[in-house]
Amino acid sequence: MNTGIHQDDEFLEAEILPAHASTVLVTDLPASDPPAPRTAPRWWIWPFRLASWSWNVFSLILLLAIVAAIPIVQLATLGYLLRAAANLSRGDSWRRAAPGLELAGRLATFALLAGLLWLPIWLVTDLAYSVQLLRPGTAVAAGWRIAAFLCALTWLIWLGWAALRGGRWWHVLWPAPLRFMRDIWRPSTWSRAADKLWYLCQRLHFPALWWLGARAACGALIWVAIPASLMIIGLRAQNLPAAGLLGLLGALSLTWVMLHLPLLQILFAERGRFTALFDLREIRQRFRHAPWALTLALVSLYVLCVPLYLLRIEATPEQLTWLPSLLFVGLMLPAKLLLGAALGYAARRPTPRHWIIRSIPRVLLVVSSLAYVGTLYIAQFVAWQGVYVMYFQHAVLVPVAS
Between 27 and 45, name the one with better pLDDT: 45
Question: What pLDDT score was predicted for residue 317?
Answer: 62
Average pLDDT over residues 296-313: 84
Binned at pLDDT 50, 70 and 90, residue 318 comes out as low
Cα four-point dihedral sign 242, 248, 252, 255: positive
Question: What pLDDT score was predicted for residue 350?
Answer: 85
Average pLDDT over residues 66-93: 90
Of the listed ranges 147-156, 232-241, 282-291, 348-357, the one predicted with least confidence: 232-241
Average pLDDT over residues 134-157: 88
Of the listed ranges 34-48, 121-135, 297-311, 383-397, the one predicted with least confidence: 34-48
Q: How far, in Å, CA of 383 to CA of 221, rounded? A: 20
Rounded percentage of the chain residues whose pLDDT exceeds 70: 84
Of the listed ranges 93-97, 217-221, 270-274, 300-304, the one predicted with least confidence: 93-97
Q: How far, in Å, CA of 129 to CA of 326, rounded? A: 34
Q: Is the pLDDT of residue 86 over 70?
A: yes
Average pLDDT over residues 72-97: 90
Q: How far, in Å, CA of 321 to CA of 325, rounded? A: 7
Between 318 and 42, name the one with better pLDDT: 42
Q: How far, in Å, CA of 9 to CA of 15, rounded? A: 10
Q: Is the pLDDT of residue 210 over 90?
A: yes
Q: How far, in Å, CA of 247 to CA of 232, rounded? A: 7
Question: What pLDDT score was predicted for residue 315?
Answer: 61
Binned at pLDDT 50, 70 and 90, residue 13 comes out as very low
Q: How far, in Å, CA of 265 to CA of 301, rounded? A: 13
What per-residue string of b and e applies to 18-30 under the rule 16 or more CB within 10 Å gives b? eeeeeeeeeeeee
Cα four-point dihedral sign 178, 179, 182, 185: negative
Question: What pLDDT score was predicted for residue 41?
Answer: 58
Question: What pLDDT score was predicted for residue 3?
Answer: 43
On average, the pLDDT of the chain sits at: 82
Question: What pLDDT score was predicted for residue 314?
Answer: 63
- Going by C-alpha positions, the residue among 226, 282, 222 that lies closest to residue 254 is 226
Q: How far, in Å, CA of 310 to CA of 328, rounded? A: 11
In this prediction the pTM is 0.79
Q: Is the pLDDT of residue 113 over 50?
A: yes
- For 57, the enclosing helix (H) or strand (E) is helix 45-68
Between 238 and 189, name the one with better pLDDT: 189
- Going by C-alpha positions, the residue among 229, 275, 282 that lies closest to residue 253 is 229
- Going by C-alpha positions, the residue among 303, 216, 222, 304 that lies closest to residue 262 is 216
